Structure 1
Amino acid sequence: MCLLQRFYDPQEGQIYIGAERRPLKSLNIRWWRKQIGFVGQEPILFNSTVRENILYGMEKDDQVTEEHIKKCKEMCNLGFLYTDGNTGLNTEVGPRGSRLSGGQKQRVAICRALLREPKVMLLDEATSALDSQSEQLVQQALEAALANRTSFAIAHRLSTVQGCDLILVNADGRVVESGTHGELMMMKGVYYQLQMQSQK
């Protein structure tokens, strides 16, 4: 994830972008980071309103319409902002988002990433800290967020990756299997064993 965001460059090899296979380090880093949306395991929210949090990182010349905000809000299942005395996008999240549950914080973070309409979405354990009910809601938001864009997901929860076009199974720091969910289940290897363990 850090390599894709270009926090540092690989010591060996290259990362190529797009059909033209342009080396990542040849691109303008500011432009490249505008193409990326990132949702991590523990989202960082600031002690302000939901609106200010989702607009965080937008530049002054970025035009964000209320219609676009509404669309992203619906995709991310932010209906909780209008119940239990909350005041919609003006709801205060508290220090580090302490007034929201884990699932609610995660959905606000996905909304923030989506608002920028990134070409590439990076998900780093985006559902690992959630209970199963919250995970379902966040998973729905993620599925909406990932439609029609390139995405990379790191996950230990296998339910998160079952719909991926390509799954890479990592063990001891190297890729040991790759394929779709169906292909990997037919191989009856590491991925299959992990699936069987998760169902116990």
Structure 2
Amino acid sequence: MEVEVKLRLPDSASHQKLCSLLSPFHAKTLIQENVFFDGSNSELSSNLAVLRLRFSNINNNTDNPHSVLSLKAKPVISDGISRAEEVEEPLDSTLARACIAEPWRLLSVDSSSIIRRVKDEFGMGERGKGLVCLGGFRNVRAVFEWQGLKLEVDETGYDFGTCYEVECESADPERVKRLIERLLEENGIGFSYSEMSKFAIFRSGKLPS
């Protein structure tokens, strides 16, 4: 179970102010490309499951991007705290790129426990049940090591606009949420509780109001 605090920042100015404030604690910046897949008849999304390939480069270094396959299920987000079942596995980046153009290749990765689960639970790979690529979005993630926490400050670029968010994974999300809220409030940075996942925003085709 992945448990994350997710607070939405209202605009670019708030995002820049937070990043400047946290700059002494900067660990790395990840340039992420997120690409999603579903069954041709929405077999995954209709069961609240999300299959994602993520490519990550550190500090704009485009050499040998790290690629990860993940499956998220049963997401719930409430009062700025997100909970979801999540499994992740590394995947060869060359193969991962090929799967975007030819999604059927994903179902041929027999070594993947995620793909086995997708086949077993959702019937993918059976007659007439293939994968389709839904597209995706780009995310710039600045990672800060602050107060013993790993804060991730995101600038997420969709075709229809940009969202800003601060995230932190924790087993004690209520305490962490209070810490982050205090940091933002004491420095005059506006925020609200995130109500949708990035994937849900992508699928809606519009920025949250």
TM-score, normalised relative to structure 2: 0.21
Structure with a larger share of its residues in helix: 1
Higher strand share: 2
Structure number with the bigger relative contact order (C-alpha 8 A, sep ≥ 6) is: 2
**TM-score, length-scaled by structure 1:** 0.21
